């Protein structure tokens, strides 16, 4: 019999309406979620860990780091075959990717949740949870890294993102697609993702900021962040990794203070590349000391940078090794 440990953190899957009906909030335990499964999970034992009961918009990096630490401890138990995490969809991709970066070993780690709260008559939570448990117990799942299972699809941690505010098929992997799906009790893996290296840290560096660039925007927030003690900055820039011209000098001021600046693209598909000059192109940003993120999204580049800084890497080391570390 497979043994799966379920970490319950809250989120929509664990939310119901407040007494006055004005809003929904997380209040349902992991044990109650387990009891609401639509079908028995033959051959699978599920042990529940009540980790937290919050909306994922309230999860910060230290709490997500604590979750990943607890997951690794659970997986270290030889009786545990895999872990499932119920989590709010707002920041699920971030907790999933951080756990992916910090994972130890090849046992499955599967995140899931819901878009319709537990009090809805057609809540998607029970089916998603049942599917996630089946994936975690499947012999096909080890070695895939952390995953998100949602609406009968399986997505890799590095690729997946939330694309719709309310639809139940909210998770997509732009440019690459899902890695597999669930058909009844069948788990089908269509492709196996290339996995970047894992990391071991004792703490997470939370002082990393992400800014999205806009046409004609001012770089004042870079200097303000530096003055307030930020340890790193991620920019979601235009296209291949370009910015308004004023950002070149602002980036240089930060890198001269040994603050790494990672440049991603606002585009959901494709990679950054130092193609353009002209005073604000990616070529100019790199000359100022910035590092292009490749195909990694802004929110995930922030997590990787937080991990690398927590390991004690300086700006030059991060710049030199980013391409191999980011996968």
Residue range 81-125, pLDDT digits in tens: 999 999 999 999 999 999 999 999 999 999 999 999 999 999 999
Out of 9, 12, 161, 230, the active site residue is 12
Q: Is 16 a catalytic residue?
A: no
Per the listing, tokens 């240089």 go with 252
Q: Is 186 exposed, middle or buried (0-12, 13-18, 19+ CB in 10 A)?
A: exposed
pTM for the predicted model, two decimal places: 0.97
Per the listing, tokens 């980013």 go with 322
- DSSP conformation class of 89: S
Instruction: Provide the token pair at 235.
Output: 């920019």
What DSSP letter does each residue of 182-247 carry, written as one string? Answer: EETTEEEE---PPPPPP---SS----EEEEE--TT--THHHHHHHHTT-SEEEEEEBTTTB--THH
In the chain, DSSP assigns E strands to 2-10, 15-17, 24-26, 44-54, 82-86, 109-112, 146-150, 153-156, 161-162, 171-172, 180-183, 186-189, 208-212, 232-237, 261-265, 291-292
Per the listing, tokens 């690729």 go with 159
Determine what percent of the chain is predicted with pLDDT higher than 90: 94
Distance CA(134)–CA(6), nearest Å, equals: 12
Nearest-5° Cα angle at 72, 198 to 300: 45
Mean pLDDT over the full length of the chain: 96
Q: Phi, psi (5° rounding) for residue 111?
A: -100, 145
Distance CA(304)–CA(302), nearest Å, equals: 6
Res 19: pLDDT: 80
Check if the beta carbon of residue 84 is closer than 8 Å to that of residue 112. yes
Res 74: pLDDT: 98
- pLDDT tens digit string along 162-176? 999 999 999 999 999
Residues near 165 by beta carbon (within 8 Å), at least 6 away in sequence: none
Check if the beta carbon of residue 83 is closer than 8 Å to that of residue 75. yes
Whether 213 shows a pLDDT value over 80: the answer reads yes
Q: Is 89 a catalytic residue?
A: yes
Distance CA(327)–CA(149), nearest Å, equals: 22
- pLDDT tens digit string along 136-192? 999 999 999 999 999 999 999 999 999 999 999 999 999 999 999 999 999 999 999
Which residues, in sequence order, are bridge partners of residue 2?
44
- pLDDT tens digit string along 8-40? 999 999 999 988 878 999 999 999 999 999 888
Residues near 101 by beta carbon (within 8 Å), at least 6 away in sequence: 196, 198, 199, 303, 304, 307
Q: What number is the average pLDDT over the span 290-308?
A: 98
Instruction: Provide the token pair at 182.
Output: 């669930």
Per the listing, tokens 């918009």 go with 57
Residues near 232 by beta carbon (within 8 Å), at least 6 away in sequence: 205, 207, 208, 209, 259, 260, 261, 262, 305, 306, 309
Domain architecture of the chain: domains with CATH: 2-189 (3.40.50.1170), 208-326 (3.40.50.40)
Out of 9, 86, 89, 272, the active site residue is 89
Helix, strand or coil, per DSSP, at residue 321: helix
Res 194: pLDDT: 86
């Amino acid at each position: 019999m497979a043994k799966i440990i379920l970490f319950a953190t809250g989120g929509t899957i664990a939310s119901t309406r407040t007494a006055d009906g004005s809003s929904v909030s997380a209040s349902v335990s992991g044990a109650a979620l387990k009891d609401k499964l639509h079908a028995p999970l033959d051959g699978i034992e599920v042990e529940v860990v009540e980790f937290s009961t919050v909306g994922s918009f309230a999860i910060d990096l230290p709490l997500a780091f604590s979750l990943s630490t607890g997951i690794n401890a659970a997986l270290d138990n030889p009786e545990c075959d895999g872990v499932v995490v119920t989590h709010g969809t707002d920041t699920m991709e971030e907790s999933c990717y951080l756990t992916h970066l910090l994972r130890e070993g090849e046992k499955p780690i599967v995140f899931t949740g819901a878009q319709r709260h537990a009090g809805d008559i057609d809540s998607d939570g029970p089916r998603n949870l049942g599917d996630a448990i089946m994936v975690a117990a499947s012999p096909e799942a080890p070695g895939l890294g952390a995953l998100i299972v949602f609406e009968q699809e399986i997505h890799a941690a590095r690729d997946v993102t939330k694309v719709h505010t309310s639809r139940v098929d909210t998770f997509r992997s732009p440019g690459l697609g899902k890695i597999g799906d669930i058909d009844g009790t069948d788990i089908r893996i269509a492709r196996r993702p290339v996995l970047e290296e894992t990391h071991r840290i004792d703490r997470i560096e939370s002082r990393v900021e992400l800014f999205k660039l806009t046409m004609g925007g001012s770089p004042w927030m870079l200097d303000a962040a530096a003055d307030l003690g930020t340890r790193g900055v991620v920019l979601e820039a235009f296209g291949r990794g370009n910015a308004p011209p004023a950002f070149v000098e602002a980036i240089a001021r930060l890198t001269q203070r040994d603050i790494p600046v990672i440049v991603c693209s606002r585009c959901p598909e494709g990679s950054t590349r130092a193609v353009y000059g002209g005073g604000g192109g990616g070529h100019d940003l790199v000359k100022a000391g910035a590092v292009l993120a490749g195909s990694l999204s802004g929110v995930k580049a922030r997590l990787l940078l937080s991990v690398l800084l927590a390991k004690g890497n300086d700006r030059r080391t991060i710049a030199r090794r980013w391409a191999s570390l980011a996968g």
